[in-house]
């Protein structure tokens, strides 16, 4: 499974590269004397959609900006990504807006370690929560997870945080009320396919490879009710309702309502203004090609990139681009 996803990520980069080449484009962001900049871009587990998103974006920057060498890599997800940026181990990454807010303000998983140097490059797409269950589990709503053998992703990850928030909103005492399995998406899909767990929480752009694998084996998506989402929104205003359309996954014959949080691409004040300006400008000038390479990036607009980002500050380089584009003052 992981090998297959890596192939998909590589293909996404190849598609983007060929698309750019077909237009006879060369590196466009030339600044002459700017020193070389290396950008490490952690994403998430190799079986998640974010892995391919990171590959497409870094391939674009690496081929289009003359002073930038950019590469993506697998990671443990949003919280790990934010910590890597805060520690200076990486330069650009993506996480859900809630985790970015918590990192910036030093709350929750980041308590006592506020990163006031965190800056936003762009708000991207909404990242939906996807609850997958086997037929024999009897899980038809979130509250049904109580007492079940359920995969909650890596311990301390942003996805585990989603499980805690939603289960609490549904009246489940987490983790005491479930049999938690702390595993990656790909491993969870294998266990769902084999029937060795009852369900799994997967937060990823749809369609996600792990969810497709599970649904191909007869598993189903679980609807998240209005009541649970309303309860979440009282304490966490970044949550939004999201619909996974019928037919997104094998055997899915009806729309599924779930919750979602916008994905935010971020950096640190340690990355200089000109570099971030070129990253932002290049991203939006080639967003159509990116959308062809990675469906989660299809249809994104710079106008939407500065909203639903939990009130976090833009990097000066990003703000320069959005001002030039007339999107912000």
Higher pLDDT, 10 or 327: 327
Structure token pair of residue 101: 């807010």
Grade residue 18 by pLDDT with cuts at 50, 70 and 90.
Answer: very low
Asked if pLDDT for residue 236 goes beyond 50, the answer is: yes
Q: Band the pLDDT of 31: cuts 50, 70, 90.
A: low
List pLDDT tens digits, range 59-92: 999 999 999 999 999 999 899 999 999 999 999 9
Q: Average pLDDT of 116-142? A: 97
* pLDDT tens by residue, 288-325: 999 998 888 999 999 999 998 988 999 999 999 999 99
Q: How confident is the model at residue 28 (pLDDT cuts 50, 70, 90)?
A: low
Cβ neighbour number for residue 288 with a 10 Å cutoff:
13
Confidence of residue 2 (pLDDT cuts 50, 70, 90): very low
Mean pLDDT of 136-162: 95
Encode the chain in three state secondary structure: CHHHHHHHHHHHHHHHHHHHHHCCCCCCECCCCCCCEEEEEECCCCCCHHHHHHHHHHHHHHHHECCEEEEEECCCCHHHHHHHHHHCCCCCEEEEHHHHHHHHHCCHHHCCCCCCCEEEEEEEEEEEEEEEECHHHCCCCHHHHCCCEEECCCCCCHHHHHHHHHHHHCCCCCCCCCEEECCCHHHHHHHHHHCCCCEEEEECCCCCHHHHHHHHCCCEECCCCHHHHHHHHHHCCCCEEEEECCCCCCCCCCCEEEEEEEEEEEEECCCCHHHHHHHHHHHHHCHHHHHHHCHHHCCCCCCHHHCCCCCCCECHHHHHHHHHCCCCC
Is the pLDDT assigned to residue 33 strictly greater than 90?
Answer: no
Looking at per-residue pLDDT, the higher value among 49 and 308 belongs to: 308
* pLDDT, position 29: 55
Mean pLDDT of the chain: 90
Q: What are 264's strand-pairing partners?
A: 95, 123
pLDDT, tens digit, for every residue of 254-285?
Answer: 999 999 999 999 999 999 999 999 999 999 99
pLDDT band at residue 21, thresholds of 50, 70 and 90? Answer: very low
């Amino acid at each position: 499974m992981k090998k297959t996803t890596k192939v998909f990520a590589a293909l996404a980069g190849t598609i983007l590269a060929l698309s750019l080449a077909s237009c006879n484009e060369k590196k466009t962001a030339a600044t002459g004397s700017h020193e070389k900049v290396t950008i490490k871009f952690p994403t998430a587990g190799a079986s998640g959609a974010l892995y391919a998103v990171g590959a497409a974006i870094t391939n674009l920057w690496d081929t289009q900006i003359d002073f930038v060498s950019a590469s993506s890599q697998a990671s443990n997800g949003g919280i790990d990504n934010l910590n890597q940026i805060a520690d200076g181990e990486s330069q650009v990454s993506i996480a859900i807006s809630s985790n970015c807010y918590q990192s910036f303000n030093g709350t929750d998983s980041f308590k006592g370690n506020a990163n006031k140097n965190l800056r936003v490059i762009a708000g991207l797409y909404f990242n939906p929560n996807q609850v997958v269950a086997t037929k024999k589990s009897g899980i038809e709503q979130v509250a049904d997870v109580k007492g079940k053998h359920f995969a909650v992703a890596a311990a301390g990850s942003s996805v585990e945080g989603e499980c805690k928030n939603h289960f609490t909103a549904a009246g489940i005492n987490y983790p005491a009320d479930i049999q938690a399995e702390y595993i990656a998406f790909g491993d969870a899909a294998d266990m769902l396919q084999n029937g060795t767990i009852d369900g799994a929480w997967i937060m990823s752009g749809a369609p996600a490879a792990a969810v497709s694998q599970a649904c191909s084996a007869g598993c189903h998506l679980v609807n998240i009710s209005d009541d649970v989402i309303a309860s979440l929104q009282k304490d966490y205003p970044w949550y939004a309702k999201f619909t996974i359309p019928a037919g997104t996954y094998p055997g899915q014959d009806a729309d599924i309502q779930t919750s979602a949080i916008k994905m935010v691409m971020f950096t640190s004040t340690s990355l200089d203004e000109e570099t971030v300006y070129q990253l932002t400008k290049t991203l939006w000038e080639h967003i159509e090609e990116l959308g062809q390479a990675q469906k989660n990036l299809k249809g994104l607009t710079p106008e939407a990139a500065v909203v639903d980002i939990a009130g976090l500050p833009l990097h000066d380089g990003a703000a320069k681009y959005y001002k030039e584009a007339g999107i912000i003052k």
